[in-house]
Structure 1
Amino acid sequence: MAARKPLYYSVFGVLLTWVLLSSQAVLALEGLRHDAPQRYEVVPGDTLWDISARYLHSPWQWPSLWRSNPQVRNPHLIYPGDVLLLGSCEGQPCVTLERGQSIVKLSPQMRTVPEREAITPIPMEVVRAFLREHRVVEPGEPLQELAYVVGGDNQRLISGAGDRLYVRGELPERASLGIYRPGEPYIAADGTRLGDELINIGEARYVSSEGDIARVEVLSAYQEVRNNDILLPLEDRELSASFEPRAPLNDVSGQIVAVPGGVRFIGRLQIVALDLGTQDGLQPGHVLRVDQQGELVTDPRTQELLRLPDTEAGLVMVFRPYDHMSFALVMQASRVLAVGDRVRSPTR
């Protein structure tokens, strides 16, 4: 007859099983990928989104793994060459940072440093290039009321860098000026005007004025400057690298209303315009899920038309919100996206 095992062995086995099952439940709850690496070395070109996607099914939920260390006064940044370790913090999975001989927990905040030193949340060069070329005039600021070119020196109809222009309208004397050409208006599905696109074609500086006519000098021009082009103080085009991917605090729902540049089909790292803005609670870093409308099919028995459920097609991240609309970067696309696709708060 086999010897009976002491009771404490059985109790230990039950407890071990419970611990293992609890750990698996916690991992599932946190959304860890089944193939999440135990150890990962950061390389040049990585972004916060890329690294979060290696560990999580939902990269915007990274604060659940990258926990703040109250003993560290300043947040620690992530640099190429750093090693990330998947471990346990107070019984829950977390990622820690190995730098030299010390290990510290990561903070979900990043302070601003020179870009070459630390990884960024998203591919910032894509966003900065876009912001250099595009801006939006809010609906409450009609284009017809903005300062505009009325002529050039020696009756020139087309001007370039080094030329002087005459501009009618109010201009600040000391501000850096952008020269813009109106693009397409952004219109919501119900016909509401969300804003007007302006395309940057150059920069200028104020020289002098007489009455409501100002003289400016063109400093740079990406296209020929023409009569009726608009002049405005340049927007602050510096985009903070301190924001992190996260879901909006409130439930939002809207649509992709346009693709700047007129692209018809949308893929990863392309920029889209949304009919949601700060008045809807959007802020830089907010992540939205993109859904595509289900197809219409005919019921084979009743012959009635049925709309199939919507399909999740991608994720976008807001980087420049205005009052009524926003620009967002496509971070993931499992299908080709299109104007009219719906966006909403992701499943938490």
Structure 2
Amino acid sequence: MIKRIAISLIFVLLSNPLLAKEVELNPDHPQRYTVKKGDTLWDISGMFLKYPWHWPDIWYVNPQIENPHLIYPGDELSLSYRDGKPVIEVNRGKRSVKLSPEVRETILDKPILTIPLSAIGPFLSKPRVVGDEVLNDAPYVVASADERLISGAGDYVYVRGITDSDSNTYSLFKGGKAYKDPDTGEVLGYEAIYLGDAETMTQGDPAKVSLTYTNREIQIGDRLLKVEDDDFDLNFIPRAPDKPLDGRIISVFDGVSQIGQYQIVVLSLGKRDGLQTGNVLSVYQAGETLKDSVSVDRKDTVTLPDEHAGEAMVFKLYDKVSYAIVMKATRAMHVYDKVKSAQ
């Protein structure tokens, strides 16, 4: 019986390697810190912790504070110990002011974000991941005004395939590259390149559509999709995934060859893999396979070990892929580098 229990315990530990790891404080951590406007949760976590994604392990939720998971400018964070373990407690600072003689309060500040809004600037051009059938079945530009080859903001175009009379605002996209899993070859989705926004002027087949904003040329064959809500929630908590995950960087925005801090990458992991917004993954520079010039076997090769290159945090999820922002880069990263659950 004892042996059976021991084997069961070993199985549990091996099947959940993310469970037991001591929280390591930053050697230069402050004892107290007053939150300032412009701070981010990631940066504050890094002040107190060696690994910012361990924040949920030390954050003490005070049930007496409204929205205890949100942190505001003026809040004082203090490090203390409970049962020998470090915890961060919050003393809510003054966030409102009374305007005399009127009896009302004005909230001065919003909660700090997990990452700076400016850091996802490259993403705000509205890239989208879609299935091949989504673009193939979407309404499309069939003709432009005055027989122009290209159109832009202020022009109007004719569109076939608009059947929803309840919606009159759309975004325009051009089909991009396929996102493939480099290990399995599975097509995970297709890049839809954002071109601009439009409003229907008259219904019909074709419908007359006004181009209200464009950041690229609009051409015959470009597709229209309903406007996607881009009001991202940036108040998520950085944390490790609930289970071990392995994937790859399959694309990077801006077309750079080497990836650094605050660049946006596409990962071969999504909702179906159990990934969640705020999950942090470690990036490993994939070991290069080289010819062994010393071996007597002239065909012999050797694959160098993967090298840790930094961390990326997921902020936008789809079923099979996700968008992540590189929060730390200790060496150059590249497309097809590996990502694993941060420990």
TM-score of the pair, normalised by structure 1 = 0.80
CA displacement at 1:317 relative to structure 2: 0.8
Could you say what secondary structure the match of 1:49 adopts? helix
Work out which of the residue numbers 44, 57, 75 in structure 1 matches 2:50.
Answer: 57
Work out which of the residue numbers 207, 215, 220 in structure 1 matches 2:213.
Answer: 220
Match of 1:316 in 2: 312
Q: 1:300 to 1:56 in 2, by over 3 A?
A: farther
Deviation string for 1:40-65 (max 9, x for gaps)? 23233221011101111221110111
Contact 1:292 1:313 in 2 (8 A): yes
Residue type at the aligned position of 2:117: M
Work out which of the residue numbers 75, 82, 101 in structure 2 matches 1:82.
Answer: 75
Could you say what secondary structure the match of 1:29 adopts? coil
Match of 1:151 in 2: 143
Q: 1:137 to 1:301 in 2, by over 3 A?
A: closer
**Structure 1 residues without counterparts, runs of 5 or longer:** 1-27, 102-113
CA displacement at 1:171 relative to structure 2: 4.5
Could you say what secondary structure the match of 1:86 adopts? strand
Contact 2:312 2:326 in 1 (8 A): yes
Q: 1:179 to 1:128 in 2, by over 3 A?
A: same
Contact 1:257 1:273 in 2 (8 A): yes
The structure having more radius of gyration, on CA atoms, is: 1
CA displacement at 1:186 relative to structure 2: 1.5
CA displacement at 1:77 relative to structure 2: 3.2
Match of 1:327 in 2: 323
Percent of residue pairs identical: 43
List, as ranges, runs of 4+ consecutive aligned residues in structure 1 with deviation greater than 3 Å.
71-74, 98-101, 294-309
Contact 1:128 1:237 in 2 (8 A): no
Q: 1:171 to 1:284 in 2, by over 3 A?
A: farther
Could you say what secondary structure the match of 1:331 adopts? strand
Deviation string for 1:149-168 (max 9, x for gaps)? 11112222222222221011
Match of 2:340 in 1: 344
CA displacement at 1:328 relative to structure 2: 0.7
TM-score of the pair, normalised by structure 2 = 0.81
Match of 2:286 in 1: 293
For 1:208 and 1:129, the matched residues in 2 are separated by 34
CA displacement at 1:278 relative to structure 2: 0.9
Contact 2:112 2:235 in 1 (8 A): no
Could you say what secondary structure the match of 1:161 adopts? coil
Match of 1:280 in 2: 273
Contact 1:299 1:306 in 2 (8 A): no
Could you say what secondary structure the match of 1:61 adopts? helix
Contact 1:245 1:285 in 2 (8 A): yes
Match of 1:209 in 2: 203
For 2:158 and 2:188, the matched residues in 1 are separated by 30
Work out which of the residue numbers 154, 157, 163 in structure 2 matches 1:165.
Answer: 157
Counterparts in 2 of 1:42-191, with a 5 A limit?
Answer: 42-75=35-68, 77-100=70-93, 117-127=110-120, 130-139=123-132, 141-173=133-165, 174-189=167-182, 190-191=184-185
Contact 2:144 2:150 in 1 (8 A): yes
**Structure 2 residues without counterparts, runs of 5 or longer:** 1-20, 95-106
For 1:290 and 1:199, the matched residues in 2 are separated by 26
Residue type at the aligned position of 2:160: R
Q: 1:223 to 1:307 in 2, by over 3 A?
A: closer
Could you say what secondary structure the match of 2:254 adopts? coil
Residue type at the aligned position of 2:332: V
Could you say what secondary structure the match of 2:255 adopts? coil
Question: What's the C-alpha RMSD, in Å, of the aligned pairs?
Answer: 2.6
Q: 1:66 to 1:162 in 2, by over 3 A?
A: same
Could you say what secondary structure the match of 2:262 adopts? coil
Q: 1:46 to 1:100 in 2, by over 3 A?
A: closer
For 2:217 and 2:43, the matched residues in 1 are separated by 40
Contact 1:83 1:98 in 2 (8 A): yes
Contact 1:172 1:233 in 2 (8 A): no
For 2:39 and 2:239, the matched residues in 1 are separated by 18
Counterparts in 2 of 1:32-43, with a 5 A limit?
Answer: 32-43=25-36
Matched, 1:269 2:269: no
Match of 1:197 in 2: 191
